[in-house]
Amino acid sequence: MIAATAQAYPRRHRVTVREYHRMAETGVLSAQDRVELIEGELIDTTPIGPRHADTVDRIVATFSRQAMPGLRIRVQNPLTLGDASEPQPDIAIVADRSYAADHPGPTDTRLVIEVSDTTLAFDREVKLALYARFVVPEAWIVDLPAGQLTVYREPAAGGFRRTIHTNTDDLVSPVGVPTLALSPSELFGP
């Protein structure tokens, strides 16, 4: 019988945002590596299916037709959340400034949207908690299999305090960007 050791599991190596960027600069990570940094760990992102891509395109098209003074839409680009996380939400509405030197952070961000086809549990359990902890003011999850848009507001350390399950006839606007509006029927049909 093998005696249990003090270290029963392999040790994990945490990566900072700075180290993550350095891995890309030196070629350790390439453009073909589809990963995001969550809580110091490199997480594989899933391939984007046609329905997911179409939904992202629909949201961007809808928002692009509306007034967004001082804001911009970012699609599947990083947000820097502290020293150990750089998620890539499907859509982020952020302050309109140059991001040539750094990615937007929580104070730049007004809304993040995750379109979930196969990643619903991860988006709800991990990414929402991360957005709330870093006080991203609002997050939406588009649950494609269920045909449901859920709005999360009032971030706190333990998660978002307010959850709104929308109906297809509802018109939804982010609290921080009341000039934007989206009807779930635009995503899922009548």
The domains of the chain, with CATH numbers, are 48-188 (3.90.1570.10)
Are the beta carbons of 176 and 68 closer than 8 angstroms? no
For the chain, what percent of residues have pLDDT higher than 70? Answer: 94
Compute the average pLDDT of residues 49-66: 94
Asked if residue 71 has pLDDT above 50, the reply is yes
The strands making up 138-143's β-sheet, listed across from edge to edge, are: 71-75, 91-95, 109-116, 138-143, 148-156, 159-165
Residue 1's pLDDT is what?
47
Asked if residue 114 has pLDDT above 90, the reply is yes
Per residue in 146-162, pLDDT (tens digit) is 999 999 999 998 899 99
Map tokens 């350790």 to a residue: 28
Short-list 171, 163, 121, CA closest to 139? 163
Dist CA 51 CA 56 (whole Å): 9
Residue 85 pLDDT level (bands cut at 50, 70, 90): very high
Residue 4's pLDDT is what?
52
